[in-house]
Structure 1
Amino acid sequence: MSHQHRQRGFTLIEMMISMFLGLIILGGTITAYQAISSVSEQRDNNYKLQDELMYIHRELSSSVKVAKSISIENNDEGSKLILESYSGEDINKIRCPGSDDGSGRIKWITDVDDKWLTCNDQKVMALAAPGITSVRFGDEGDSVCDDAASPCVRVTLKYKPCREEDECDVKTLSFHLASRATSDSDGDP
């Protein structure tokens, strides 16, 4: 008696079906990875944008709150914010970010062509997408600052939360900053 065992492997059709199912699983895995990577990139861009907005607000507010006088110049080439501090103690002098020079007078400039926010000709922040794309100081007929008892400035930031090659709307954030000084003060604050 001879028992003959017949060995059987996979047929060609079974192999093709298993390869097809494997490709579907692999495609789903790649698609999920790309979606997660895209969400992660968007989240990182939003964190970076939030940091930029907070940085500009913090630096401008610290400059404006010790200002004795505020003047604004706007034209097609950009916007200028000129701040003068009280003469007197060095602690009340206005300074540019990262500068030890407390000259008492600083000039914040946004340059449309150069795409930079500068302080006394020192580059502070690039204005590019994703991120803050423009900064404008003041507005004609700004009733909040017109009626204020202390020097005040309106800051309008335009920002784009996505890359230049992606399509998304430019968003606007406006806020007012005021000095601690009153407009009729002559002495130190």
Structure 2
Amino acid sequence: MAAPFSTRQSGYTLLEMLVAMAAGLFLLAGVAMSYSAIKNTVRTTQELSDAQEVIRYTSQVFTRSTKQTKALPVVSADTLTIQFEQYANVLSCQGTTPAADYIETYTLANGFLTCDIGDGGGAVQLLKGVEALSFGFNNYLVSVLVKPDHMPSHFGTGLQIDIATTQLILIEAFK
């Protein structure tokens, strides 16, 4: 007698394939969403890091100029420019030490914080990535309002840095 013919086949049914493909697509969508979220977080973190660096550098530059100034700073009427009168042989905003007294003039030009010491060389770009910059002066206190590029909106118009004119306060105290 001949062996019975088996009609059973091995493999996957169409329904099993559809279920496996749906599960695979679900996992792939989850991975894609996670990648997108991580990419956005990395970009936001980099923007915040860049903004923090702009604020840190701005604070450092203006702290040096404000603390070593020999006269009251002069803020322009539109508050977009500030000038510091400095002694000879002290470090300037351009990294030089001029042999004569000089005036540092800070302003914002095309997204760059610039400084001119009036030596005929013109303004030097110190820092890029500044969206807005304004100045104020009141009672020996210099206020610098800086807004870096890509700063989160909850910071409003920027961050204010207040710096005391230490040398002038000491001169006034010992009169």
Task: Give the TM-score normalised by the residue count of structure 2.
Answer: 0.78
Kept in 2: contact 1:66–1:94 (CA 8 A): no
Cα distance in structure 2, aligned partners of 1:174 and 1:46: 17
2:168 is aligned with 1:182: yes
Cα distance in structure 1, aligned partners of 2:10 and 2:54: 66
Unmatched 5+ stretches in structure 2: 117-122
Within the candidate set 46, 71, 74, 1:71 is matched to: 74
Q: Deviations over 1:31-61 (max 9, x none)?
A: 0111111111111111111111001000110
Equivalent position SS for 1:158: strand
Aligned to 2:107: 109
2:23 is aligned with 1:21: yes
Equivalent position SS for 2:108: strand
Identity across matched positions, percent: 21
Q: Deviations over 1:117-141 (max 9, x none)?
A: 11111112234xxxx42110116xx
Unmatched 5+ stretches in structure 1: 140-144, 163-167
Instruction: Note the C-alpha offset of 1:184.
Output: 9.0
Q: How many residues matched?
A: 159
Counterparts of 1:1-189 in structure 2, within 5 Å, are 2=3, 6-69=8-71, 70-75=73-78, 79-87=80-88, 90=89, 93-97=90-94, 99-102=95-98, 104-111=102-109, 114-120=110-116, 121-127=123-129, 132-138=130-136, 145-146=138-139, 148=140, 152-159=141-148, 160-162=150-152, 168-169=153-154, 171=156, 172-182=158-168, 185=171
Kept in 2: contact 1:84–1:94 (CA 8 A): no
Kept in 1: contact 2:69–2:168 (CA 8 A): no
Cα distance in structure 1, aligned partners of 2:87 and 2:160: 27
Cα distance change of structure 1 residues 17 and 181 upon mapping to structure 2, 3 Å threshold: same
Task: Give the TM-score normalised by the residue count of structure 1.
Answer: 0.72
Residue 108 of structure 1 aligns to which amino acid in structure 2?
A: Y
RMSD: 2.5
Kept in 2: contact 1:94–1:106 (CA 8 A): no
Instruction: Note the C-alpha offset of 1:170.
Output: 5.1
Which structure is higher in helix share? 2
